[in-house]
Structure 1
Amino acid sequence: MQNPAHPSSTRHVLVTGGGRGIGRAIATAFKEDGATVSIIGRDRAALDAALATAVADRAYVADVTDPHAVEAAIREAEGVAPIEVLVANAGAAESAPFLKHDPALFRRMFDVNVVGVVNAVQAVLPGMLARKSGRIIAIASTAGLKGYAYVSAYSAAKHAAIGLVRSLALEVARDGITVNAVCPGFTDTDLVGESLERIMQSTGRDRAAALASLTKHNPQGRLVEPGEVADAARWLAGPGAGSVTGQAITVAGGEL
C-alpha cells in the first residue's frame, strides 16, 4: 500500500542486487512506501520473479563489476526519472583458509564488493551533483568493521567499501548528498544458507549446529532479518537522516 506521507514516496530508488536476499527486501520496502523502484542484477530469472511479485517497477540485467553494463542500465533507468536514492547492495562472499586465498579470490571479492559499488556510484553521482540532492547507501557488513576467520578477502573488501563511503561522504558533504553504509551481521538470506551448507559439508555438523556457529556472533542469538536491514536503509534515505553521513550503521543484534 502506498504511503503518500512517507519520505520515499514518488522518489526513484535504484537497488543493485535487488532480485534476492537483502536487496529484494530493500526494494520491497521502498516500493511499499510508494517509491518508483528499479533493480539491477545478474540473474534474469530472479529479476523477473521480483517484477512478477511487484517488488520493483523495472529491472535491468547487469553485472556490477562491468562499468559499461552498469552505466547503460542506469542511463536507461534515469530515462524514467532521476535516481534520487542509490542502494549499492550487490555483493558476494567466499570462504577459505587464508593460505588458500589466492590472488584471484581477492580480486573477485574486491571486484564485486568494492568496484561494484564504485561503478554504481559513478553512474548516479553526476545527476545527484547537478540536482544538489541524493542519498547513497552501500550495504556492507560487520565484516567491514571487524575480522572473521576464513573470510580474509571478503572482510578486506568490506573494510574498503566502508573506507570508500567515509571518503566520498566528505567529498560531497556540501552538495546535498549523504553517503552511508549499513553493516548487517549474519542475515537470513540464501547467501548465508550457502554458508551453512559449506559448514555442514566441511565439518560434518548438522544444520542446527552449523547455524549455531553463525548466530553465536549475535548477542541476540539469531540471524538478522532482511527487513531489518531494509528499515535501516529506509531511515537513511529519509529526511530525519539528513545530517547523517559517512557512517557505518550496524544491524547485528549488538555484536558491535
Structure 2
Amino acid sequence: MDFEDRSIVVTGAGRGIGRALVHAFARRGGRVCVVDVDSAAAERVAAEVGGVAVTCDVADPEAIIAMIERATASHGPVEILVSNAGFAAGALSGPTLADDALWQRNWDVHVMAHLRAARAVLPEMQRRGEGWLVNVASAAGLLSQIGDAPYSASKHAAVSLAQSLAIEHGHEGIRASVVCPLYVATPLLGYDDDHPEGRPHERVLTAEDVAGAVLQGMDEDRFLILPHPEAGEFLRRRAEDMDRWISGMQRVRDRVWDDGTPVDLGALHRLI
C-alpha cells in the first residue's frame, strides 16, 4: 500500500494506538488529521508529525461531520479513515448491573462512531472508486472480555459492521479492515504511553507493535488484522466448540475472582 500523500484521518489519536498509527502513517508519507476528544493531546501529536489537529467527541454525530469537513479542507478528500477512538470502563459486577448509560456510551463510541464516520466519507470514496475504512475493534470483538460485557458486545458489533462494509462496498473499490488486538501497553491498561515497561508477558504489545501490524495488514490487503496471531487460534477453538470455550472462560473468571471480589479492570490482564 502506498501511503505517500494520502489524506488520512485517525480518531482517538492523542495517545496509545492512535498516536502510534499517526506516526507510522507519517513515516510512510501520509498527510494525517489527528483527531481526539482531548484538544491538547491532538495538538501535541499533530505537531510531532506536521499534521492537523481536530477536537472531536466521536459520540456526537454533528462533531463527526465537522471533523471530516475539517480534514477534507486541510488535506483533501479522506482516502483512509481509521476509526480508532475507544474506551474501557469495566462492568465488573456483570452485564445486567451495568447501567444503560454505560451500554449506550459503548454503543455510540464503538459502533455508531464507525458508522457515522464511514457515512461521511463514503460518497467521495465511491465517486473516486477507492478508499479504505479501518475499524480498530479488539480481540474482545472476536471472543469476550471478562468483566466488561458492554465493551465486548459493542466490539462484536464493530467487527460485524466492518464485515458489512467490506461486503457491501468491495465492488466499488473500497476496502475495509478490522483490527483486533489482545492486550496493549497503553493508558487504557494503566501503562505509561512513553515508557510501557513492566509488561507482564509477551501477549502485551506496545502501541507501536500494533501500528506496525496494521500497516503490514494493509500492505497485504487483509480484512482481519490480528496483531496477536494467537487470537485467531482462540477464535478457531471457540468456533469449533462453543460450550467447551465458555466452560474454559468460566474457569478463568473463577480464578480471577477467587475471593469473590472483582479485580480492577486495568490489572485483569496481568492475572490471565
Question: Given the two structures, how large is their TM-score scaled by the length of structure 2?
Answer: 0.77
The answer (yes or no) to whether the contact 1:162–1:248 under 8 Å persists in 2 is no
Cα RMSD for the two superposed structures: 1.9
1:253 is displaced (CA, Å) by 5.0
The answer (yes or no) to whether the contact 1:12–1:81 under 8 Å persists in 2 is yes
1:226 counterpart = 2:207:
yes
Match of 2:27 in 1: 32
> What amino acid does structure 2 have at the position aligned with 1:226?
A
The answer (yes or no) to whether the contact 1:8–1:33 under 8 Å persists in 2 is yes
**SS of the residue 1:108 aligns to:** helix
Give percent identity, aligned residues only. Answer: 37
The answer (yes or no) to whether the contact 2:214–2:227 under 8 Å persists in 1 is no
Mapping of residues 175-194 of structure 1, within 5 Å? 175-193=172-190
* CA distance in 2 between partners of 1:18 and 1:26 (Å): 8
Match of 2:101 in 1: 104
1:251 counterpart = 2:227:
yes
Match of 2:71 in 1: 77
Q: Which one scores higher on RCO, CA 8 angstroms, separation ≥ 6?
A: 1
Mapping of residues 135-154 of structure 1, within 5 Å? 135-154=132-151
* CA distance in 1 between partners of 2:114 and 2:87 (Å): 12
Query: What number of residue pairs does the alignment pair up?
Result: 224
1:173 counterpart = 2:149:
no
* CA distance in 2 between partners of 1:169 and 1:52 (Å): 33
**SS of the residue 1:74 aligns to:** helix
Match of 2:59 in 1: 65
* CA distance in 1 between partners of 2:47 and 2:130 (Å): 31
**Structure 2 stretches of 5 or more lacking a match?**
192-196, 235-272
Q: What CA deviation, in whole Å up to 9, does each residue of 1:114-142 have, x standing for no partner?
A: 11111211111111011010011100100
**SS of the residue 1:158 aligns to:** helix
Question: Given the two structures, how large is their TM-score scaled by the length of structure 1?
Answer: 0.82
**SS of the residue 1:234 aligns to:** helix
1:93 counterpart = 2:74:
no
* CA distance in 2 between partners of 1:235 and 1:176 (Å): 20
**Structure 1 stretches of 5 or more lacking a match?**
1-5, 195-206, 216-220
**SS of the residue 1:172 aligns to:** helix
* CA distance in 2 between partners of 1:129 and 1:237 (Å): 19
The answer (yes or no) to whether the contact 1:84–1:128 under 8 Å persists in 2 is yes
